[in-house]
Amino acid sequence: MTLLDYLRIKKGLTGTKLGCGEGGCGACTVMVSHYDKDTKEVQHRSINACLAPVCSVDGQHVVTVEGIGNSKKGLHPVQEKIASFHGSQCGFCTPGIVMALYTHLRKTPSPTLHGLEEAFDGNLCRCTGYRPILDAAKTFATDAAPCEKKLESSSKKEEGKAVERHSFWEDGPLSGFDGVQVSSSTNSKIEAANLVKDRVKLKEIPFPKELQSFEPKSLVIKGEKATWYRPLSLKEMVDITDVHPKAKIVVGNTEIGIEVRFKFCDYPVLINPLQVPELNQLALEQDKNSINIGAAVSLTSIREYMTDLIQSKKLKPQNTGSLVAVLDQLRWFSSTQIRNVGCVGGNLVTASPISDLCPVFLATNSVLKFAKKGENGKIVFRELPVSKFFLNYRKVDLRDGEVLVSVSLPLTRRMEYIKAFKQARRREDDIAIVTGCLRVRLETPEEAEKKAKEESTKLEPNAANHNGYKIVDVSLGFGGMWKTPVRAKKTEALLLGKAWNQTTLDAAVTMLGHDFPLDRSTPGGMAEFRKTLCASFLFKLYVHTCQKLTSEEGANGELKLPAAYRSAITAFERPVSKGQQTYQVNPVQRQAIGKPLAHRSANLQVTGEAEYIDDLAPKHQMLYSALVLSTVPHAEIKGIDASAALAMPGVKGYFDAKDVRGVNQVGHWGDEELFASKTVHCVGQIIGIVVADTHRQAVEAAQKVQVEYKKLPAVLTIEDAIKAKSWLGEQDGYLLLRGDTEKGLSSSECVIEGEMRIGGQEHFYLETHCSEAIPGENGEMTILASTQNPNTTIESVAHNLHVPAHKVVCKVKRMGGGFGGKETRSVNYSAAAAVAAEALGRPVRIMLDRNVDMATSGQRHAFVGKYKVGFTKEGKLTALDVQLYSNAGWCLDLSVPVMHRGLFHIDNVYYIPHVRAHGYVCKTNMPSHTAFRGFGGPQGLMVAEAAMDDVARHLGIPGDKLREMNLYKEGQVTHFGQVLTQCTVRRAWQECKERSEYAKRIKEAKKFNETHRWRKRGVALIPTKFGIAFTAKFMNQGGALVHIYTDGSVLVTHGGTEMGQGLHTKMVQVAAGALGVPVEYVYIAETATDKVPNTSPTAASMSSDINGMAVFRACQKIAERLKPLRDSLPKGTSWKDLIHKAYFERINLSAQGFYKVPDVGYDFKTRSGPGFSYFSYGVACSEVEVDVLTGDHQILSTHIVMDVGNSLNPAIDIGQIEGAFTQGMGLFTLEEMIWGDSNHPWLRPGMLMTQGPGAYKIPSFNDVPLEFNISLLKNVPNPKAIHSSKAIGEPPLFLAASVFYAIKEAVASARRDAEKDEVVQSGKSQAFPMDSPATAERIRMTCPDKLTKLLGVPQDIRPLGSW
């Protein structure tokens, strides 16, 4: 049992969350403390409770989020800061983030700004964009600089004035306000916090006295499936391994825990060595010129120890090379939580081919020490060089009964140079694509001459070079290049004895290609990139060594490299991030509308009191379920055998298509079965559901259900679908037309063609799909669900159970994120649980494990856009002909409206006289892809910007100049016939240019690029226009129900669901404003279909618009009823007295509100009608810096100007902008879905490789722009939405394309340099394709240079992807 299961199931402490089960998201973070008897201090560390065996914390103090503060007794300052700084949106990740920060503060008496930013390297958040959390954390820093006082003082004073302007009792629902502008920065928040640091803090939880005197004893704990041993000596340990030679040694459980949970491995004997002294030593052995590292020593301890050795100068700098190499790898080794428990022994014995540390041990010729029980009962030791330890994939030279005791790490000496490298998809908490440690020892000319005289021999011809430095020892260790960590033996042999010069380097780079002959079928893919990284690492070592030789040894000649080359070894540095938010607030003090109020559930979320579905106390006779899923992409089902599963302990039943009493269908289109009955159409399609007493029993039993298939041909990619003409929806596709495109193109002065590919994206909400089906009397069924779509949920369940919809109720308290992924796909899981619950007459809960959620629930659609664009020589657009293809998966779901929105947004913000946009929805044998924030809009917008980028490069003019000359003007008409009114894009464009100091940034980036060959900067200014409305006309409606109780309290229920976007908070503000009461009087309990029926899904950024108006109208009805009574009462009568009197006057204090959006509904058949109610506009400027040799990049700054109308709540809207931008940044730069298809033949067809946070990388805290400024456009009321506001959830996401195009600018600079080096053909540095996401692979491989040329990599290579 893990610590997480113990806390949640045994103790009922559900604040600690299960987000991934593999230690990759941090939602399960807790603090564990122990008393160190040597230092006589309590040591604190954060750990992942989802991995830690509960046995491993024996004798230690565990503190969870519930323990440090709560809403009743008071919040801890950490909780209070995160809540008040708007650092919690959906709240599911928040307890883990709170505990990560809390632990850092307990561990670090004087926290620094840098340290606080690194404290979250093991935590993920999908909602906030991280900036507010970092701001909250920085208020605890002891090294914060004084605030830069700018606009805030005067603005705050103005805000504080009592301005009685109007009463919302009389004004209409579309009225706005003239706001006061406020600016808030990171520095100002820190200073404000410093002013109140002397306030009384909650008392910290004391470390129990009983644990201070704790004496560990030998433990033997026998469980159902495993026995846990904790020996106290090496002798005791080898005695156990002698009896159990296949026993697994467990320290952090970071590998075994994952194997047990996801691979269903059984390990009957587990040994924990943390009390064995020999395995926990960490000592400098001067006599051996090495450091002895115990196999069980935590990586954090190693990092702290080596850092101290270097900083205290106990070693000479020339002796610290291997230590620096270890530290370089540990900086990016997993996360703080993992490093706190993971050990060096585990890193070695697991023999991961992509290990971070194993290449270091290979390159340094480290030696391993083993122990086992000898024939006479004594301990027998064996030593072995690391180079002989790795035998095959995950196989090492560890003999039966042996224990790895320690590793001896040699120190470096003079003229020995070593560098460690790692390139991953994401810097923070990611496994490597390629990792390496390269070491070379040189001989000086004097040493070579002396040796020659002594040996009476001549120097080798090549060694007699003018620089005279000769390679006398070399080790090149790599991970990610073979099935084990490996040395480049052929390259080492070539280098040995050669001169250290460019000629030798070139030969070595070429030889690396022979050492590692990877090809397209190599597991892991990216063959060219991986080989190129090896060459880049070697080149970096060369530059590093040359730099050392010139600065320390006085070398000159060709070893004195050009100054621009030094950028090859520029160390990654991340200054402390900062941000500024500029917005308007409503100056009317008593009015809630327009105020930056905190999320109404923030305090519950930071304390872990906010409940999600899996946190609910189990109902009487509750059962748990797991799905039986297809394992092939397309096949007939020949038979199903569930007998083995049904025979397992705790299993109560198996249900599939034959057990559905009603219709075995889900969705609106009739093309999707709830349970596959005859044919499966993708890997991960639901075949059946297993129900058991516990979740784990159900999961294990589901694996035992045997399904026999007859395989059928599968279509897996857009290219496959185009060839097969495999379409969903209209077989001729969907068409938007304006003008005569053929004539427009033929008459254009210039015409170019291009193609843009945009990969899919996983929603990665922190709370996976979860539902609870509770059967009642007379066919009733209550569904508690994490869904954006309660109405479709009850419709489907009623359909499946063959009961009327009025007998099914769906309730939603809150979701741990949704982003569109819970709009339709959640229905399948609720319906499956309902079928089982109805059959058994018992409540059934289903919560998907992260890997199952990702493999089955669909993602953002991958798109391919092929375009032909016409324009004048000056850059005016004249015509656009574009074909969009989306990978829809196997059934319709929402793929047609997703394509519609893609077509609607193909113009972005540019007027184009002639447009033909044709969209095809590709049917493939993939899980049905679905809604995701932006809903096809970002894909269409990206294709538009790709065309703009190509045009600008073709003409040789700046991208901003081209974009600005083509911006829409007020009153112009879109390509689908909608007149643009209140078009603010030009104003936002100019304001963003000014606020970002765009011209200055361009100038400085150019200057930087001229002096840096291997690091490049790019700046891009990108606008967006996003249409607001459901494209399906009937969905543009909302409802609400408002009750006022006799004590004056107000209960609001509306059709929208809360998933972190602050909808309930805004609705509370709307109701409070409409009724003229404080927000504290208004409460929203949940969304329920028995309160507000026939609701539209919470989607399309429309929820505030439709539900806000419905809430307002309901409140308005009550206010009108109250008005005569209010007018008859004395002035100053309180609200409570008014309501009390109204009750006795028999005035109805309950009202229903309804709203439908006018003037919307485009008809694709007639190509007429307004597509949207209105448009939201925004502009972003981003600057990046790229490592040309590895493809790594960092966002230096982002400035966003966004039109949100009159914001209902600027704090929530800014949070949505930051969160959407960060999610978009993931879409366009980091997040890559990899499927088994023709581009990835090393994967099983149709299988998703990127399951879970270990393989799929969303942006982390480390990816936040160093400067992140948001400004809301001032005085732009929108007359078409509640209180002149605008929708905010989706429009800002595309602004992250500014990062993509900034990267492309940096790449273009590198390509121009390559052209000068005669590596790239003349002209190739201009227009060039770069697909999305701009991963490290795509960036590096789009930057050809001499290294790639030596490796034989084509200069026009286009990295593969899953489209």
- By annotation, the residues acting in catalysis are 1290
Helix 937-955 with 1297-1316: angle, nearest 10 deg = 30
> Hey, is 170 helix, strand or coil?
coil
Q: List the one residue out of 81, 75, 43 whose CA is nearest residue 61.
A: 43
What are the E-state strand segments in 669-794? 672-673, 679-680, 686-692, 706-711, 727-728, 734-738, 750-758, 770-775, 781-785
In angstroms, rounded to a whole number, what is the distance separating the alpha carbons of residues 345 and 249? Answer: 9
The full DSSP string for 1104-1136 is HHHHHHHHHHHHHHHHHHHHHHHHHSPTT--HH
Neighbours of 663 (CB within 10 A): 14
Q: List the one residue out of 1092, 1117, 1085 whose CA is nearest residue 1038.
A: 1092
Question: Within 13 A of 1088's CA, how many CA atoms are on the CB side?
Answer: 13
φ and ψ at 185, to 5 degrees? -120, 165
The three-state (H, E, C) secondary structure of 482-541, written as one string: CCCCEECHHHHHHHCCCECCHHHHHHHHHHHHHHCCCCCCCCCCCHHHHHHHHHHHHHHH
Q: List the one residue out of 1025, 1024, 1000, 994 whose CA is nearest residue 1199.
A: 994
**870 DSSP β-pair partners:** 751, 879
Q: Which stretch of DSSP H or E encloses residue 183?
A: strand 180-185
User: 345-361 burial by CB neighbour count: b if 16+ within 10 A, else e?
Assistant: bbbbbebbbbbbbbbbb
What are the E-state strand segments in 1214-1313? 1267-1272
In angstroms, rounded to a whole number, what is the distance separating the alpha carbons of residues 301 and 222? Answer: 30
State in Å, rounded, how far the first CA of the chain is from the last one.
40
In angstroms, rounded to a whole number, what is the distance separating the alpha carbons of residues 1232 and 1246? Answer: 16
Q: Give me the amino acid identity at 834.
A: A
Q: Give me the amino acid identity at 722.
A: I
> Hey, is 80 helix, strand or coil?
helix
Q: In which order are the strands placed within the sheet that holds 486-487?
A: 416-424, 432-443, 470-479, 486-487
In angstroms, rounded to a whole number, what is the distance separating the alpha carbons of residues 617 and 619? Answer: 6
In angstroms, rounded to a whole number, what is the distance separating the alpha carbons of residues 83 and 769? Answer: 25
- Looking only at the bridges linking them, the beta strands covering 290-294 and 844-847 are unpaired
Q: List the one residue out of 943, 838, 845, 964 whose CA is nearest residue 899.
A: 943
> Hey, is 55 helix, strand or coil?
helix
Q: List the one residue out of 1119, 1137, 1117 whose CA is nearest residue 1129.
A: 1137
φ and ψ at 221, to 5 degrees? -120, 120
In angstroms, rounded to a whole number, what is the distance separating the alpha carbons of residues 627 and 828? Answer: 11
Alpha helices in 640-709 (DSSP H): 643-646, 695-702
Residue 1336, Cβ density class (10 Å: 0-12 exposed, 13-18 middle, ≥19 buried): buried
Residue 478 and residue 501 in contact, taking contact as beta carbons nearer than 8 Å: no
φ and ψ at 540, to 5 degrees? -65, -40
